Structure 1
Amino acid sequence: MRSYNTKDWFSFIFLIQKSDTFHKLWPLMLGIGVYSGVIGWLEVEYWQLSEKNYIRNINLMHNMLGFVISLLLVFRTNTAYDRWWEGRKLWGGLVNNSRNFALKLGVILKNENDKAFFRKMIPDYAAVLHTHLNDSETAQQLFDGLDLEIDHHKHKPNQIAAQLFERVNALYAEGKITGDQLIILNAEIQSFTDICGACERIKNTPIPYSYSAFIKKFIFIYVLTLPFGYAFSLGYYVVPVVVFIFYVLASLELIAEEIEEPFGDDENDLPTRKISENIRRHVGELL
């Protein structure tokens, strides 16, 4: 996740960052600019259409559809941000649950070998979940010395959770923890799986294809029809005006596309790797 100063207006306005939508849109913006210039030249210079021509009234359509496209884009960005923020809350919950689990185990357990097992395994769950959601590396490739017998064709976070519960159940069978303590610790392990399932729901359920495709087509057709009406009143100034309108509308869609998938390695994705590293440090302090 990119670190920045929210009060630094100069860098926001005058500096173009790598993650700025301008980098992705400039080829289309160039094409839209050329297209707008050609339409303006045809209408004003070549065809020499009069001010009374009916095509001038196409702006009435833009006025009516402008409100509709605004509502669609607001709903689109809000939905995408909700997914991003829900992912952040889930990983915040994973941090708290890992701390609580380690805190309780630190008080209950007396054997150093038992503490060492959980000191390693609890942070490993967050690390494996990060890898699982990114679909990039396996857990054994991510951390040196991860001595779990993991079948990479199976659900990796579930395998970690299963070994955690197996160890807790073994502690109960050995009389190292009571039945009440078993129930308390079981709830903590269950919370890991609940968080994993909620993250998978975000990861595996994108915005419906028909909705996303419709917005893109709507924006494209809306922008392509703008020069027909505005060329009469703006002349060749229609080029920068239409390009700017396209930049604003398309940028909102691009931003929504990026943040609706919060688990990845993009600049605006959640820092799940950093969060998992913090969990490892915090659990180590408690155990």
Structure 2
Amino acid sequence: MIVRPRPHWIRLLFVRRGSLIHRIFWQQMFVILLSCTVVVLHGQLFDWKVTLNASPFSLMGVALAIFLGFRINASYDRYWEARKLWGGVLVASRNLARQGQTLIDGSPDVRPFVLGLIGFAAAMRNQLRGRARNDGLEAWLPPALCAELGAARSAPTRILAWLGAWLAEHRRAGRLHPVSAQHMESGLDELSAMVGGCERIANTPLPFTYSVILHRSAYFYCMLLPFGLVDSIGWMTPLVVAFVSYTFFALEALSDEIEDPFGTMPNDLALDAIVAGIDASLRELLGEVPPPAPMPDENFILR
């Protein structure tokens, strides 16, 4: 995720990081070179003069812009829902850690349970990003559990089962009232629902045909646009086509990037930072000094 103060409006015109220029550079160059060729040939293809004007492109441009808007909204809805689900993980983890400290009698050591909640968040991040299931979990979970997670298909679910067994052990020992145990189990159910929601987003992309239609429409529009403008604006055609194609290509690339919000692209969610925030929050509840907050790198990227 890009985290930076908004630059001056002049500098904002030349910002490269997050502008998606690197993803659409060659497409842009192709369209610009095509526009220059059309201007040089005066819109003539071999012996045939392509008789197009700006009128049909006005109608097609409006329709394509609306289509792109639907695509962006669908992708951003997935991005924002994913962010709300991770916010729910933070809230539910805090509640469970606090309840573990206040509802269990006999002053037991609740540190393994609280650290297990942090391990759950880290395992959830690993699974969504396709990393090894037990990558980096040794700091929060018992070694035996970490070894099991390496072969688990759903590591977060396995950790939730371990946390539930920890609660059941204290309930059987009489240190946790059955009503309180049921309430805390509801918190574990919330975490399970958050995992399921994120898996739904990650495993159900937008229909492929939707992307194909948009991709073809945007490219054909930008490739035909020089023929419709050359007779009216002449050598300004490449400049106008470059601007229009940048808008369409960049919006398409952005919608494709945030469609899967759990990746490591500059505009994806900063899952490492979210897990670090959960770690710091729960360690404070334990009375420990939290680790320093993660900071963006030199490119203003927060992972």
- The equivalent of 1:25 in structure 2 is 24
Residue pair 1:44, 1:235 contacting (<8 A) in 2 also: no
Partner Cα separation in structure 2 for residue 199 and residue 54 of structure 1: 50
Residue pair 2:35, 2:237 contacting (<8 A) in 1 also: yes
Partner Cα separation in structure 2 for residue 48 and residue 5 of structure 1: 54
Q: Is 1:143 the counterpart of 2:137 in the alignment?
A: yes
Q: Is 1:55 the counterpart of 2:40 in the alignment?
A: no
Distance of aligned partners of 1:44 and 1:204 in 2 relative to their CA distance in 1, 3 Å threshold: closer
Distance of aligned partners of 1:54 and 1:275 in 2 relative to their CA distance in 1, 3 Å threshold: closer
Question: 2:94 pairs with 96, 99, 122, which one?
Answer: 99
Supply the AA of the counterpart residue of 2:4: Y
- The equivalent of 1:284 in structure 2 is 283
- The equivalent of 1:119 in structure 2 is 114
After superposition, residues 1-287 of structure 1 pair within 5 angstroms as 1-6=1-6, 8-17=8-17, 19-43=18-42, 55-57=51-53, 59-110=54-105, 114-139=109-134, 141-145=135-139, 146=141, 147=143, 148=145, 149-287=148-286
Greater per-residue helix proportion: 1
SS in 2 for 1:142: coil
Partner Cα separation in structure 1 for residue 150 and residue 36 of structure 2: 59
The alpha-carbon deviation at position 132 of structure 1 amounts to 0.7
Q: 1 or 2 for the larger relative contact order (CA 8 Å, sep ≥6)?
A: 1
The alpha-carbon deviation at position 9 of structure 1 amounts to 2.5
Partner Cα separation in structure 1 for residue 44 and residue 212 of structure 2: 36
Residue pair 2:39, 2:230 contacting (<8 A) in 1 also: yes
- The equivalent of 2:294 in structure 1 is none
Q: Deviations over 1:202-221 (max 9, x none)?
A: 11111110001100000001
Residue pair 2:57, 2:228 contacting (<8 A) in 1 also: no
The alpha-carbon deviation at position 56 of structure 1 amounts to 3.6
TM-score by length of 1: 0.91
Partner Cα separation in structure 2 for residue 55 and residue 81 of structure 1: 39
The alpha-carbon deviation at position 43 of structure 1 amounts to 2.7
Distance of aligned partners of 1:45 and 1:165 in 2 relative to their CA distance in 1, 3 Å threshold: closer
The alpha-carbon deviation at position 111 of structure 1 amounts to 5.3
Residue identity over aligned pairs, in percent, reads 28
Q: Deviations over 1:81-134 (max 9, x none)?
A: 111111111111110000000111111235565412112101100010000100
Supply the AA of the counterpart residue of 1:142: G
Partner Cα separation in structure 1 for residue 264 and residue 43 of structure 2: 48
Residue pair 1:131, 1:138 contacting (<8 A) in 2 also: yes
Structure 1: stretches of 5+ with no match in the other structure:
none
TM-score by length of 2: 0.86
Supply the AA of the counterpart residue of 2:177: T
Distance of aligned partners of 1:239 and 1:7 in 2 relative to their CA distance in 1, 3 Å threshold: closer
Distance of aligned partners of 1:117 and 1:61 in 2 relative to their CA distance in 1, 3 Å threshold: same
